[in-house]
Structures are given as structure tokens and as C-alpha cells.
Amino acid sequence: MKKIGFISLFLMSILTQAQKVNWVTFEELSSLTKQKAKPIMVFIHTDWCKYCLMQEQSTFSDSAVVSNLNDNYYCVKLNAETEETILFLNRDYNFNGSQNELSWVLGAENNQLLFPTTVVLSPQFQITNRWVGHLSKQVLLGN
């Protein structure tokens, strides 16, 4: 009986782990895209944004979304308020006093940056799509 309980717990932990987006860093993208070219999805968020948290807890925990993202994209989280310097495409992006410059380069539209913003880049790092606001799983799955 103990073996069955242990096996059940083990399988549940595997299933739980399988339902997480494989987030990578900007620094890892260069080598990853050289190994296999895939589009990049960048989730621009802040710690205080309730819609960002909702998107992480609902959309990015849906098994169909997770599977689609992990299979077809490299996924990067970008906290717009990070004070760390980010190296991306051989350029350093710094904190400008309120937000990281890279969040503006990728996410700003009409001289405004709203949260969350989700950006898709081609394997050649060109912006192909940008969504502002909370995304449902239907939008990310193209339904």
C-alpha cells in the first residue's frame, strides 16, 4: 500500500512539473536559437500588476498553453522594473530609474508601456506580434 501511495505522489509531481512553462533568460536565447530556431515569446510584467499575476496563474498554468509554448517557443519573463542589466543581441539594457530599457524597446506602443504586455519575436528577433493586457488561453492557442 505504501508503494502505491509513493508511486501516486511521484506521478503527481511529474505531472505538476510538466505543466510549467520552460522560462529561459535573454542571455540563453542566442545559443538556444543557434541550436534550434523557434519564435520567442516575451512576457513583460511587474511584481505589483494584478493582471500579470492572473496571466501567470491562469493562462501560463493551462496544460494546453504550457505544451504549446514549450514545444513551439522560447519563453522569457521580463520584469519591467528589474534593476539588473540585461544583455540582449550584444547590447546592454539598463534600468532608467523606473523601468528597464528593454521593456520599452519590446513592449512600448504609442510611447506607452502597459502591463502585462506579451510580445512574440521571430527567430531572427523581429517583433511579429504584441498583445497588451491579460491574455486568455484562447488567444495564445489561436482559438
Q: pLDDT per residue over 68-110, tens digit each?
A: 999 999 999 999 999 999 999 999 999 999 999 999 999 999 9
Measured distance CA(87)–CA(84) in Å, rounded: 10
Three cell numbers at 13? Answer: 509531481
Q: Which domains are present in the chain?
A: 21-140 (3.40.30.10)
pTM of the predicted model, to two decimals?
0.86
- Given a cut of 60, whether residue 10 has pLDDT beyond it is no
Query: Residue 11: what pLDDT?
Result: 47
pLDDT tens for 29-58 read: 989 999 999 999 999 999 999 999 999 999
Q: Is 142 helix (H, G, I), strand (E, B) or coil?
A: coil
Confidence of residue 142 (pLDDT cuts 50, 70, 90): confident
* Neighbouring C-beta atoms of residue 77, cutoff 10 Å: 18
Q: Is 118 exposed, middle or buried (0-12, 13-18, 19+ CB in 10 A)?
A: buried
- Whole-angstrom distance, CA of residue 133 vs CA of residue 114: 7
Cis previous bond, 116, omega within 30? yes
pLDDT greater than 80 at residue 17: no
| Per-residue pLDDT at 19 | 81
